[in-house]
Amino acid sequence: MPVRDDPIDATMPLEPEEHAAQLEGLSALIAGGDRVIDVGAGLGRIAIPLAERGCDVLAIDTEESWLVGVEQATSDLPNPVLTRQADVLDITTDLAHPRGRAHAVLILGNTLALFHDPIACAELFARLRGVMTPDGVLLVDHLHSVVWREVREGYWQEGVSEDGDLQMVWSPGDAVIAFRQGPDVDTARETVDDRDAPMRLWSWGALRLLARASGFSDPEAMLDRHLVAFRAV
């Protein structure tokens, strides 16, 4: 099964057709005028088109220069994107939308996988639940389903792609992985180490536990839209 050559590319983490399907799915769940918090907004792949539809978007990211670009791209809109440079895993970070409780929170672009500590992620989900409307929805990618399927079908049996340009390694005893590309491929380093960017390969069971621990219903798969929805309860 083919995989992306750039599995954690911040600019376009989904293939074009996947991106289009995800935007279509979001348009069915989020109405113009809704308040939206986009966690890990990056260069505005999602925040900008939502703002163009009239949504009131708060984009949060650790990279300030990306957020400046998002602000500039939407400055002429009636509702330009609001931005906040912050680490959302820092418990002192203000996650609230400045204009009221959020109707939707987005953790897209493979960002959820980067939250590899399940305790920290559960705390983040609970804090996000606290700044959402009672009927709000939290939406994440379904990257975990794609990679688990590849593992099941044997794509990563040798740990390295057929062309030798991409490597996936695991942490011992945990569903934490890392991708290495090009010159970083090193078959002598068989497990995730401190030179890698660890990513949690969330299972459906782990996502259910995450939901129950943080005030959400069981995750709802919308795989044709490349989304997984957590409903506030």
- Looking at 7-21, 43-57, 108-122, 206-220, which range is the least confident one? 7-21
The 10 Å Cβ neighbour count of residue 19 is 18
**pLDDT exceeds 70 at position 151:** yes
Q: What is the pLDDT of residues 22-33, one digit of tens each?
A: 999 999 999 999
Give me the pLDDT at residue 9, please: 55
Higher pLDDT, 148 or 98: 98
Six-digit token pair at 104? 């939707």
Q: Are 36 and 56 in contact (CB under 8 A)?
A: yes
CA angle 217, 150, 9 (to 5 degrees): 80
**Residue 11 banded pLDDT, cuts 50, 70, 90:** low
| Residue at 217: amino acid letter | S
Please count the other Cβ atoms lying within 10 Å of the Cβ belonging to residue 41: 27
| DSSP single-letter state for residue 222 | E
Q: Give yes or no for a contact between 50 and 74, defined as CB atoms under 8 angstroms apart.
A: no
Q: How many residues does the chain have?
A: 233
The neighbour count for residue 144, using CB atoms within 10 Å, is 22
CB 144 within 8 A of CB 115: no
Q: If you average pLDDT over residues 85-108, what whole number do you get? A: 98
Domains observed in the chain: 16-142+202-231 (3.40.50.150), 144-200 (no CATH)
What does the pLDDT look like over 45-63, one tens digit per residue?
999 999 999 999 999 999 9
pLDDT in tens, 122-135: 999 999 999 999 99
CA distances from 127 to 117, 121, 213 (A): 16, 10, 11
Query: What are the E-state strand segments in the chain?
Result: 35-39, 56-61, 82-85, 102-107, 132-140, 166-170, 176-181, 199-200, 220-222, 227-231
